[in-house]
């Protein structure tokens, strides 16, 4: 039962342009969402989070948007840099849950 879905396994973007990574969820109880970045042979690195009381959170080049009615969130990276090339995971949880549910990841390739 995949409660968090990332339907695009890969995305290729030119350096300097915007990267948009998408994530959908099915459980309306989820109220806290995170994005992680993962390089090969390393653990995931926390990037940015958003609580359901907000619809946008920004941190430097990274912005996460949350659309609760559509059960959809997205991560925007502007401008994209070659060092952003990695696998990006979204994760979701609820305050009274014990765990995060992760999507299957989107592999971003930023071309110089």
- Per CB under 8 A, residues contacting other proteins are 6, 32, 34, 36, 41-46, 49, 89, 91, 93-105
Closest CB to other proteins among residues 36, 80: 36
Nearer to other proteins, 25 or 102 (CB): 102
Least CB distance from residue 38 to other proteins, whole Å?
Answer: 8
Tell me if residue 84 falls in helix, strand or coil.
helix
Q: How far is the CB of 90 from other proteins (least distance, A)?
A: 10
- Identify which of residues 41 and 70 has a Cβ nearer to other proteins in the complex: 41
Please say which residue, 32 or 79, places its beta carbon nearer to other proteins. Answer: 32
CA distance 58 to 97: 25
φ, ψ for residue 16 (rounded to 5)? 90, -20
What is the C-alpha to C-alpha distance for residues 4 and 103, in angstroms, rounded to an integer?
5
Sign of the alpha-carbon torsion through 106, 107, 111, 112: positive
Q: What's the closest the beta carbon of residue 79 comes to other proteins, in angstroms? A: 25
CA distance 15 to 12: 10
Give least dist CB 95 to other proteins, A.
Answer: 5
Give the distance, in angstroms, between the CA of residue 85 and the centroid of all CA atoms in the same chain: 14
């Amino acid at each position: 039962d995949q409660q968090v879905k990332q339907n695009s396994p890969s995305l290729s973007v030119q350096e300097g342009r915007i990267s948009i990574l998408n994530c959908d969820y099915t459980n309306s109880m989820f109220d806290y969402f995170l994005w992680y970045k993962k390089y090969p042979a390393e653990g995931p690195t926390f990037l940015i989070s958003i609580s359901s009381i907000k619809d946008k959170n920004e941190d430097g080049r990274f912005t996460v948007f949350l659309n609760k009615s559509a059960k959809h969130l997205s991560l925007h990276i502007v401008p994209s840099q070659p060092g952003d090339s990695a696998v990006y995971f979204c994760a979701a949880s609820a305050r009274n849950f014990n765990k995060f549910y992760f999507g299957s990841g989107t592999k971003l390739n930023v071309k110089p």
